[in-house]
Structure 1
Amino acid sequence: MKEKVSVIEKLNNQNTWLIASLLFISILFIFIIRKNRKKIKEYEKQAKVLSEKPLVAPVYHQEEISTEIIAPAIPEENTPERKEKAPKNDLSSNPKFKILIEKISQFEKTNSFLNKNITLDSLSKDFDTNRDYLSKLVNELKGKNFSQYLNELRINYIVEELKSNEKIRKHTIAAIADDIGYNNAESFTNAFKKITGTLPSYYIKALN
């Protein structure tokens, strides 16, 4: 009888723990579902807002930009490097600065940012300039680092392209990612979400 009572008590304790565990898992599962639903609604809302924005044609204001920013200091021969704020009037007379401004402008106009494997190193070689100087120039011109600058160019491009071209909407996310220079769908999706606040799949759905 003692053994029987002991076994029953043990089983009751196990059942109590089992019920408590199942209850906890159920609550956690409900919480995750609600959180995901909330996130999905946010993605859908942001996708709708993005899809309803009018098409924006790229505008390049080379002269305006070149007179409003500070050119990173180019070290002079036989003098130590120094960072100085160049007067606005001096920018137009700086040959290296003007050439790089034009190259960056062409880089954007020709959609060269869609090419795969673009890095700060590779672009500085294409521009025949110093890596650090190009990095500083992009930072001054665009107010962001090179990686952010490249991602925004690509994402802004595909946002407008998806809006105006129904054929591209039929492509897979991986194919779209490859078309605009990303190595995989995950990096494209992460960049898209960070910049637009939604996912490419929800944006395409909203457009359709």
Structure 2
Amino acid sequence: MTQATSVFAAAFAPFADLAQALLAEGATGDDGSHDVAHLIRVWRNVCRLQAEEGGDLRRLCAAVLLHDGVAVEKNAPNRASASRLAADKARGLLARLGWSAPDIDAVAHAILTHSFSAGLPPETIEAKILQDADRLDAIGMIGAARCFYIAGRLGSGLYDPLDPLAHNRPLDDKAFALDHFEVKLFKLAANAQTEGGRRMAGERQARLRTVLDMLMQEIA
């Protein structure tokens, strides 16, 4: 256990011991949009939502720590399988920690259904909270930053210089980062699963609209 991991684990109080055991398995790869900082932000979102909506916080902590436990690039052909792979990995890790079968099933379901790419409906309050908490990190100011970071990582352009808002062309978020706002990010708030998630997503979507408006002012 590294000193850095111990410091990061404290951010998952009151489950710092669980975080110490799982952090190295949950923050895999070198993707700065799915790193320890992302896990901490999602955990903070989870804590806010759980305080309003209920749910088992220990299960939620494990789900947060392991929801991105298998790194699959956004443009990989098996991207839609990432959450299933992460859920299967989580089952093995939690079994080795002595978790009960119902707890493992609950965590695995939350991980399996959190993904936008998987398109699976969350059926438990923990799964709904995790999905909302993770998607909140994809909108707002941090969402805009992550969007442009991922575009650079994958070699996409920032925007189409001739038609940045795709008025006269099909949207293509593989080619242009700005297209991802309409392809995915502006759709997330409407699909929030919890009341708290809907409220927080509405606030963050307004910020994301502001980012788009300011960007268009500068490139118009």
Say whether the fold is shared (TM-score over 0.5).
no
TM score, norm. by length of structure 2? 0.34
Considering Cα pairs closer than 8 Å and 6+ residues apart, tell me whether 1 or 2 has the greater RCO. 1
Bigger helix share: 1
Q: Which has the larger radius of gyration?
A: 1
TM-score for the superposition, normalised by structure 1: 0.35
